[in-house]
Amino acid sequence: MSADFVVKRLDHVHITAPEELEDEVVSWYIGTLGLQRIDKPVGTQPRGAWFRVGDQEIHIGRDEHNPPHTSHFGVVVDDLEAVVSHLRSVGCHIEQASRIPGRKRFYTRDPAGNRIEFLSFEEGEGPRA
């Protein structure tokens, strides 16, 4: 089945750290890899950290209950509604995402259970510089 949308680019990768290692993991990305920490947008969890990596981002978060279940990668698409329609037509479940101003987004999972975030930026919005 041919898709009626285009995956334009990788936006971010989200990884998790257990609560007791969160500060150490964030410090490692800053000190060891020299990544630039960026402000998280309104609507995201207060814990964790986001980093700029070229035109993409790494998001570090925490899931106290099922750490691997919140890990995911996010891709920008040209037509979010077409993606929803296509994924539903092939039997994929759509998971709603919390609201982040300037973005529309949702999650689904691949057959192995890996979580994927699909997103589009609203008019006049885009990745932070």
Tens of pLDDT, residue by residue over 44-75, are 888 889 999 888 998 988 766 655 567 888 98
| Triad 102, 107, 109: Cα angle to 5° | 160
pTM of the model as a whole: 0.69
pLDDT at 119: 94
What is the pairing mode between strands 56-61 and 49-53?
Answer: antiparallel
Q: Write down the mean pLDDT value for the chain.
A: 84
> What is the average per-residue pLDDT within 15-23?
83
Q: Selecting from 3.40.109.10, 3.40.50.12780, 3.40.50.10420, 3.10.180.10, what CATH number does the domain 7-121 have?
A: 3.10.180.10
Give CB contacts under 8 A, 24+ apart, made by 120-127: 120/76, 120/77, 120/78, 120/79, 120/80, 121/76, 127/11, 127/55, 127/57
Domain locations along the chain: 7-121
- Give the SS3 label for residue 96: strand
Phi then psi dihedrals of residue 67, to 5 deg: -45, -45
